[in-house]
Protein backbone atom coordinates (compact mmCIF):
# COMPACT_ATOMS: atom_id res chain seq x y z
CA UNK A 1 0.00 0.00 0.00
CA UNK A 2 1.36 3.39 -1.01
CA UNK A 3 0.66 6.96 -0.06
CA UNK A 4 -2.88 8.24 -0.48
CA UNK A 5 -3.68 11.95 -0.79
CA UNK A 6 -7.28 12.98 -0.15
CA UNK A 7 -8.76 16.15 -1.59
CA UNK A 8 -11.84 16.80 0.54
CA UNK A 9 -14.28 19.35 -0.92
CA UNK A 10 -17.55 20.67 0.45
CA UNK A 11 -20.38 20.99 -2.09
CA UNK A 12 -21.23 24.32 -3.70
CA UNK A 13 -23.67 26.76 -2.14
CA UNK A 14 -27.33 25.77 -2.48
CA UNK A 15 -30.75 27.39 -2.25
CA UNK A 16 -31.15 26.23 1.35
CA UNK A 17 -27.70 27.55 2.29
CA UNK A 18 -28.72 30.92 0.91
CA UNK A 19 -32.10 30.88 2.66
CA UNK A 20 -30.54 29.77 5.97
CA UNK A 21 -32.44 26.50 6.10
CA UNK A 22 -31.20 23.34 7.80
CA UNK A 23 -29.80 21.00 5.18
CA UNK A 24 -28.60 17.53 6.02
CA UNK A 25 -30.11 14.50 4.32
CA UNK A 26 -32.62 16.90 2.78
CA UNK A 27 -31.43 18.52 -0.43
CA UNK A 28 -31.72 21.64 -2.54
CA UNK A 29 -30.19 22.69 -5.88
CA UNK A 30 -26.90 24.48 -6.36
CA UNK A 31 -27.29 28.18 -7.01
CA UNK A 32 -25.18 29.98 -9.65
CA UNK A 33 -22.59 30.90 -7.03
CA UNK A 34 -22.28 27.26 -6.04
CA UNK A 35 -21.87 26.13 -9.63
CA UNK A 36 -19.22 28.77 -10.25
CA UNK A 37 -17.41 27.72 -7.09
CA UNK A 38 -17.39 24.08 -8.19
CA UNK A 39 -16.08 25.03 -11.63
CA UNK A 40 -13.35 27.15 -10.02
CA UNK A 41 -12.43 24.21 -7.79
CA UNK A 42 -12.13 21.99 -10.84
CA UNK A 43 -9.84 24.54 -12.47
CA UNK A 44 -7.69 24.70 -9.34
CA UNK A 45 -7.39 20.90 -9.28
CA UNK A 46 -7.01 20.39 -13.03
CA UNK A 47 -3.40 19.23 -12.73
CA UNK A 48 -4.14 16.67 -10.02
CA UNK A 49 -4.25 13.16 -11.46
CA UNK A 50 -7.13 11.59 -9.54
CA UNK A 51 -7.11 7.81 -9.32
CA UNK A 52 -10.61 7.79 -7.83
CA UNK A 53 -13.52 10.13 -7.13
CA UNK A 54 -16.07 9.65 -4.34
CA UNK A 55 -19.15 11.65 -3.42
CA UNK A 56 -21.99 11.68 -0.97
CA UNK A 57 -25.13 10.47 -2.79
CA UNK A 58 -26.91 13.80 -2.21
CA UNK A 59 -27.62 15.56 -5.50
CA UNK A 60 -25.86 18.76 -4.45
CA UNK A 61 -22.62 16.85 -3.89
CA UNK A 62 -22.92 14.70 -7.02
CA UNK A 63 -23.57 17.84 -9.08
CA UNK A 64 -20.62 19.61 -7.46
CA UNK A 65 -18.41 16.61 -8.20
CA UNK A 66 -19.47 16.65 -11.84
CA UNK A 67 -18.50 20.30 -12.22
CA UNK A 68 -15.14 19.65 -10.57
CA UNK A 69 -14.09 16.72 -12.74
CA UNK A 70 -15.52 18.25 -15.92
CA UNK A 71 -14.73 16.16 -18.97
CA UNK A 72 -12.30 13.82 -17.23
CA UNK A 73 -13.02 10.18 -17.98
CA UNK A 74 -13.45 9.02 -14.40
CA UNK A 75 -16.41 7.49 -12.60
CA UNK A 76 -18.06 9.09 -9.58
CA UNK A 77 -18.61 6.55 -6.81
CA UNK A 78 -21.18 7.42 -4.14
CA UNK A 79 -20.91 6.31 -0.52
CA UNK A 80 -23.74 6.70 1.99
CA UNK A 81 -21.16 7.20 4.72
CA UNK A 82 -20.22 10.55 3.19
CA UNK A 83 -23.71 12.04 3.66
CA UNK A 84 -24.22 15.14 5.75
CA UNK A 85 -25.37 14.80 9.33
CA UNK A 86 -29.09 14.05 9.48
CA UNK A 87 -31.15 16.70 11.26
CA UNK A 88 -34.39 14.73 11.35
CA UNK A 89 -37.51 16.89 11.67
CA UNK A 90 -35.41 20.05 11.35
CA UNK A 91 -34.59 19.34 7.70
CA UNK A 92 -35.56 22.30 5.51
CA UNK A 93 -36.59 24.47 8.46
CA UNK A 94 -35.24 28.00 8.87
CA UNK A 95 -32.50 28.33 11.48
CA UNK A 96 -34.41 31.17 13.13
CA UNK A 97 -37.48 28.92 13.55
CA UNK A 98 -35.41 26.04 14.92
CA UNK A 99 -33.86 28.42 17.44
CA UNK A 100 -37.29 29.68 18.48
CA UNK A 101 -39.05 26.31 18.67
CA UNK A 102 -36.26 23.95 19.72
CA UNK A 103 -33.83 26.32 21.41
CA UNK A 104 -32.49 24.01 24.12
CA UNK A 105 -31.67 21.06 21.89
CA UNK A 106 -30.35 23.27 19.10
CA UNK A 107 -28.04 24.99 21.57
CA UNK A 108 -26.90 21.58 22.77
CA UNK A 109 -26.09 20.57 19.19
CA UNK A 110 -24.02 23.70 18.67
CA UNK A 111 -22.32 23.99 22.05
CA UNK A 112 -22.05 20.45 23.41
CA UNK A 113 -21.32 18.06 20.52
CA UNK A 114 -20.10 15.32 22.82
CA UNK A 115 -23.42 15.15 24.67
CA UNK A 116 -25.89 15.99 21.91
CA UNK A 117 -28.39 13.11 21.66
CA UNK A 118 -30.80 14.35 18.95
CA UNK A 119 -33.75 13.28 21.07
CA UNK A 120 -36.12 15.96 19.77
CA UNK A 121 -34.86 16.32 16.20
CA UNK A 122 -34.71 12.52 15.65
CA UNK A 123 -31.60 13.09 13.57
CA UNK A 124 -28.05 11.84 14.08
CA UNK A 125 -25.56 12.46 16.86
CA UNK A 126 -22.01 13.58 16.20
CA UNK A 127 -20.82 10.18 17.38
CA UNK A 128 -22.85 8.49 14.65
CA UNK A 129 -21.48 10.87 12.02
CA UNK A 130 -17.94 10.25 13.27
CA UNK A 131 -18.27 6.48 12.99
CA UNK A 132 -19.88 6.31 9.55
CA UNK A 133 -17.60 8.88 7.92
CA UNK A 134 -14.56 7.11 9.31
CA UNK A 135 -15.87 3.81 7.95
CA UNK A 136 -16.31 5.44 4.54
CA UNK A 137 -12.66 6.53 4.49
CA UNK A 138 -11.55 3.09 5.63
CA UNK A 139 -13.48 1.60 2.71
CA UNK A 140 -11.81 4.04 0.31
CA UNK A 141 -8.38 3.11 1.67
CA UNK A 142 -9.14 -0.56 1.08
CA UNK A 143 -10.29 0.12 -2.48
CA UNK A 144 -7.50 2.55 -3.42
CA UNK A 145 -3.97 1.30 -2.68
CA UNK A 146 -2.35 4.59 -3.69
CA UNK A 147 -2.87 7.87 -5.52
CA UNK A 148 -4.90 11.07 -5.34
CA UNK A 149 -8.52 10.74 -4.26
CA UNK A 150 -11.24 13.37 -4.61
CA UNK A 151 -13.96 13.21 -1.94
CA UNK A 152 -16.92 15.60 -2.14
CA UNK A 153 -19.08 15.76 0.97
CA UNK A 154 -20.65 18.25 3.40
CA UNK A 155 -19.67 20.85 5.97
CA UNK A 156 -20.42 19.18 9.26
CA UNK A 157 -19.62 15.69 8.03
CA UNK A 158 -16.20 16.81 6.77
CA UNK A 159 -15.44 18.76 9.91
CA UNK A 160 -16.12 15.73 12.10
CA UNK A 161 -14.32 13.37 9.74
CA UNK A 162 -11.15 15.37 9.17
CA UNK A 163 -10.62 17.00 12.54
CA UNK A 164 -12.10 14.39 14.89
CA UNK A 165 -12.29 10.91 13.34
CA UNK A 166 -9.03 10.97 11.38
CA UNK A 167 -7.11 12.86 14.08
CA UNK A 168 -8.54 10.77 16.92
CA UNK A 169 -9.53 14.02 18.66
CA UNK A 170 -12.33 14.88 21.06
CA UNK A 171 -15.77 15.83 19.77
CA UNK A 172 -16.57 18.36 22.46
CA UNK A 173 -14.31 21.19 21.30
CA UNK A 174 -14.12 20.54 17.57
CA UNK A 175 -16.61 23.29 16.70
CA UNK A 176 -14.52 25.94 18.46
CA UNK A 177 -11.02 24.68 17.69
CA UNK A 178 -11.30 23.67 14.02
CA UNK A 179 -12.18 25.70 10.91
CA UNK A 180 -15.73 25.90 9.62
CA UNK A 181 -15.68 24.11 6.25
CA UNK A 182 -16.74 26.58 3.56
CA UNK A 183 -18.55 25.80 0.31
CA UNK A 184 -16.19 24.42 -2.37
CA UNK A 185 -13.19 24.79 -0.09
CA UNK A 186 -10.40 22.22 -0.44
CA UNK A 187 -8.80 20.35 2.45
CA UNK A 188 -5.84 18.13 1.60
CA UNK A 189 -5.05 15.17 3.85
CA UNK A 190 -2.23 12.71 3.30
CA UNK A 191 -2.33 9.11 4.51
CA UNK A 192 0.92 7.19 4.81
CA UNK A 193 2.26 4.51 7.15
CA UNK A 194 -1.06 4.35 8.99
CA UNK A 195 -1.22 8.07 9.80
CA UNK A 196 -3.28 10.98 8.51
CA UNK A 197 -1.74 14.44 8.11
CA UNK A 198 -3.65 17.60 7.23
CA UNK A 199 -1.57 19.42 4.62
CA UNK A 200 -4.00 22.21 3.78
CA UNK A 201 -7.27 23.05 5.52
CA UNK A 202 -10.33 24.85 4.19
CA UNK A 203 -8.48 26.50 1.30
CA UNK A 204 -10.60 29.00 -0.63
CA UNK A 205 -7.84 30.84 -2.48
CA UNK A 206 -9.22 29.56 -5.78
CA UNK A 207 -12.56 31.26 -5.10
CA UNK A 208 -11.34 34.83 -5.41
CA UNK A 209 -14.18 36.88 -6.80
CA UNK A 210 -16.75 34.22 -5.89
CA UNK A 211 -18.54 34.95 -2.62
CA UNK A 212 -18.94 31.65 -0.80
CA UNK A 213 -20.79 31.38 2.49
CA UNK A 214 -22.05 28.91 5.01
pLDDT digits over 95-144, tens only? 999 999 999 999 999 999 999 999 999 999 999 999 999 999 999 999 99
* For residue 5, pLDDT beyond 70: yes
Residue tagged active-site, from 33, 84, 93, 212: 84
Residue 150 vs residues 4, 46, 143, 182, 195: alpha-carbon distances, Å = 11, 12, 13, 16, 18
Residue tagged active-site, from 11, 33, 91, 105: 11
CATH architecture designation of domain 4-84+128-207: 3-Layer(aba) Sandwich (3.40)
Average pLDDT of the residues of the chain: 96
- Report which secondary-structure segment, H or E, holds 150: strand 147-153
* For residue 8, pLDDT beyond 60: yes
Q: Where are the alpha helices (DSSP H) in 30-182?
A: 32-44, 59-69, 95-101, 103-111, 126-143, 155-160, 174-177
C-alpha 162/C-alpha 183 separation (Å) is 16
178 CB-side CA count, 13 A: 26
CA 179 and chain centroid, separation: 12
Q: pLDDT category, 211, cuts 50, 70, 90?
A: low
**124 tagged catalytic:** no
**84 tagged catalytic:** yes
Q: pLDDT category, 1, cuts 50, 70, 90?
A: confident
Question: Residues 66-84: what's their mean pLDDT?
Answer: 97
Task: Enumerate the known binding-site residues.
Answer: 10-17, 60
Domain boundaries, the chain: 4-84+128-207
- Report which secondary-structure segment, H or E, holds 16: helix 15-19
Amino acid sequence: MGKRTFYFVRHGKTEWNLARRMQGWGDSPLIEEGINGAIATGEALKDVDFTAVYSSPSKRTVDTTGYIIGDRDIDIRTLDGLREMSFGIWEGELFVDITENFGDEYAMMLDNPEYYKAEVSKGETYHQVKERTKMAVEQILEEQPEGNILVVSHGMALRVLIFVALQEAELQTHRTETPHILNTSVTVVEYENGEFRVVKANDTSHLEGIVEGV
